[in-house]
Amino acid sequence: MNARTSALLLFALALPAHADNIAMEDQTQILTDAVNPASRQYFQPPKLSELPDNAFGKLVQEGRAIFVDTKTYAPEYVGNGLACGNCHLEQGRQANSAPLWAAYAMYPAYRKKNDKVNSYAERLQGCFQFSMNGKAPDATGPVIAALTAYSYWLATGAPIGQELPGRAYPEVAKPKGGFDLAQGEKIYAAQCAVCHGKSGEGQTSGEEYVFPALWGADSFNWGAGMHRINTAAGFIKANMPFGKGGTLSDEDAWHVAAFMNSHERPQDPRLVEGSVEKTRDKYHANDGVSLYGETVNGQILGKGF
């Protein structure tokens, strides 16, 4: 090592301490600006540190583990690369990200999806069949018990049967000129591909998905609520890019949602007599905005894999 290198090294050693001091001085102001006061208007679920250390607390923790790492803790019911926490951010706590605390107290409820009154357990089973492209766990089994306990605990103190602010995903007005797939493709490349991959394939660490696949065989199926462009636009507007929710315009949220949902994904498990057309007529025609059964780039969507 020559004298010049040594001098450089010394300089470098001195840098971090110097930088530390400046950061401390700036801290208060940065933090004050960063806190979003709007977050306080929503229902506040209890903190994990308040969870009792007993059998109930243990079941809630099991539910939370299934929720954030579904493939590890409930593998037999998952048919794709997703986890519950992919569409319900902050472990099901985030307002406008279909938080569990707002969902739990709204069941039993009638659902057009299966044309009957659904219990909360049945609602959870639906998530596994559609969003997770898997199998419904037994309504009286341990997976539903744990997820129900987690939801119930998050809803501690929430009013029963009352729509809370921040429930589900926000409605985002459709662009006046309709959605534009080419525009959506550009937004996708600029804002989404860094995490979800150039072709919506997601990204893994080893076998495990870190960033979920947005289309293709490992994504949600054509029966999942997220396949509706209006639903996806609401989710994206409020929650994407990850950690930067609310930064896309309403129009851009629609364009990119439409682009995402203009690709093939696993078949709707409600498929009627093997016919995409019949399935579209029965389940998709009057259920929001969907490209299921429509022709995009010369291909009819909805064939599945």
Partner 1 sequence: MNVARWTFAGLFLALSVSIQAADPNAIYAKGGTNPAAMACATCHGAEGEGLAAAGFPRLAGLSADYMKKQLMDFASGQRANPIMQPIAAALSPEEVDAVTTMLASKPGPKVERISRAAVAEEVGAVIALRGAWERNIPECVACHGPSGVGVGKAFPPLVGQSAQYLSSQLIAWQQGTRKNDPNDLMGHIARSLTHDEIKAVSEYFANLTETGAGR
Cα 96 from chain centre:
10
The one among 46, 57, 58, 61 contacting partner 1 by CB under 8 A: 61
- Chain mean position to CA 223: 15
Q: Which of 56, 110, 242, 305 binds partner 1 (CB under 8 A)?
A: 242
Residue 216 Cβ, how far from partner 1 at the closest point, in Å?
17
72 in contact with partner 1 (CB under 8 A): yes
Q: Between residue 158 and residue 187, which ones bind partner 1 under the rule CB under 8 A?
A: none
Q: Does 205 help bind partner 1 (rule: CB under 8 A)?
A: yes
Q: How far is Cα 41 from Cα 112, in angstroms, rounded to an integer?
A: 30
* 129 neighbors 137 (Cβ within 8 angstroms): no
CB atoms within 10 A of CB 16: 8
Shortest reach from residue 228's CB to partner 1, in Å: 25
Of 257, 259, 255, 275, whose CA–CA distance to 267 is shortest? 275
Instruction: Determine if 7 is a binding residue for partner 1 (CB under 8 A).
Output: no
Residue 55 binds partner 1 (CB under 8 A): no
Contacts of 218 (CB under 8 A, 6+ apart): 80, 81, 82, 201, 202, 209
Query: Per the omega criterion (within 30 degrees of 0), is the bond before 241 cis?
Result: yes
| 237 and 253 Cβ atoms separated by less than 8 Å | yes
140 binds partner 1 (CB under 8 A): no
Site for partner 1 contains 108 (CB under 8 A): no
> Which helix (DSSP H) or strand (DSSP E) does residue 184 occupy?
helix 181-187
Secondary structure element (H or E) that encloses residue 7, with its range: helix 3-34
Rule CB under 8 A: say whether 41 interacts with partner 1. Answer: no
Indicate whether 117 belongs to the interface with partner 1 (CB under 8 A): no
The residue within the footprint of partner 1, chosen from 125, 133, 191, 267 (CB under 8 A), is: 191
**Is residue 50 close enough to count as binding partner 1 by CB under 8 A?**
no
Q: Are 147 and 132 in contact (CB under 8 A)?
A: no
According to the binding rule CB under 8 A, does residue 198 interact with partner 1?
no
For the chain, counts of helices (H) and of strands (E): 12, 6
Q: Which of 69, 185, 250, 294 binds partner 1 (CB under 8 A)?
A: 69
**In this complex, which beta carbon is closest to partner 1, that of residue 4 or of residue 112?**
4
Check if the beta carbon of residue 256 is closer than 8 Å to that of residue 196: no
> Least distance from C-beta 16 to partner 1, angstroms?
5
Task: Pick the stretch among 17-25, 105-113, 133-141, 250-258 that binds partner 1 (CB under 8 A).
Answer: 17-25
Summarize as ranges the residues that interact with partner 1 (CB under 8 A). Answer: 1, 5, 8-9, 11-13, 15-16, 19-20, 22-24, 26-27, 30-31, 34-36, 39, 48-49, 61, 64-65, 68-69, 72-73, 85, 89-91, 93-94, 190-191, 194-195, 203-206, 208, 210-211, 241-245
